[in-house]
Amino acid sequence: MSQDLQKTKKLMRKAVEERLKCLDGFDILKASLDISRRFFDLEEYRGARSIMIYSSIHGEVDTELIMDMSWRLNKNIIYPAICWERRELVPVKIDSAKELRPGRWGLLEPVNMEPYPLEEIDVVVAPGLAFDLCGNRLGRGGGYYDRFLSRKHDADVVALAFSCQLQRYVPTDENDKMVDILITENMTAHCAKLYN
């Protein structure tokens, strides 16, 4: 990745983080409810047996409702265990929130490290700081999800974002993986259908 691109990505992360700071707990919860409802309406979600999701942290759409609902619907819930040294995610099936422990950055991580078969994951929800309507995604800069999605090509990749995280254009490089569906509190976009 060129130094210019690295710098542009860093500036965009900062700008979006500033906007996210303006959301209070109520805004976050209300928008997260609307976003979760849109997620439940997705055909891709309804048909999925296994979904990979993450524990949300500051400034992210709250994912707890999706987790609870998915258990009630008897879907398999997969969480990423994080290998910080190799910058890799290991997908692990969890059957209750008790199987998660707080780790670095306050992220809840699976206690167990037994990898779930990649081919069985139908939907991957990918976190990010900024998105555009083409499905370009800007993460926190570790490349964790880009590396993971380069091993896992066949899932429907969904992003959940507040509308203040939408950018006209998110700059990318050859390693960046796109999302297929982008949901905000105001819209659901099937990115590939819109632009391919």
Q: Which residues bind ligand ATP (CB under 6 A)?
A: 1, 9, 128, 138-147, 150, 175-176
Any binding-site annotation on 138? yes
Binding residues for ligand FFO, rule CB under 6 A, total: 15
- Letters for 12-51 (x = contact with ligand FFO by CB under 6 A, - = none) are ----------------------------------------
- Pick what 60 binds: ligand FFO, ligand ATP, none; C-beta below 5 to 8 Å, kind-dependent: ligand FFO
Q: Which residue, 75 or 172, has its beta carbon nearer to ligand ATP? A: 172
Residue 107 site contact among ligand FFO, ligand ATP, none (CB < 5 to 8 Å, cut-off depends on kind) = ligand FFO
Query: DSSP readout, the chain?
Result: --HHHHHHHHHHHHHHHHHHHT--HHHHHHHHHHHHHHHHT-HHHHT-SEEE-----TTS---HHHHHHHHHTT-EEEEEEEETTTTEEEEEEESSGGGEEE-GGG-EEES--PPPPGGG--EEE---SEE-TT--EE-SSS-HHHHHHHH--SSEEEEE--GGGB-S-----TTPPPPSEEE-SS-EEEHHHHH-
Q: Which does 109 bind (CB under 5 to 8 A by kind): ligand ATP, ligand FFO, none?
A: none
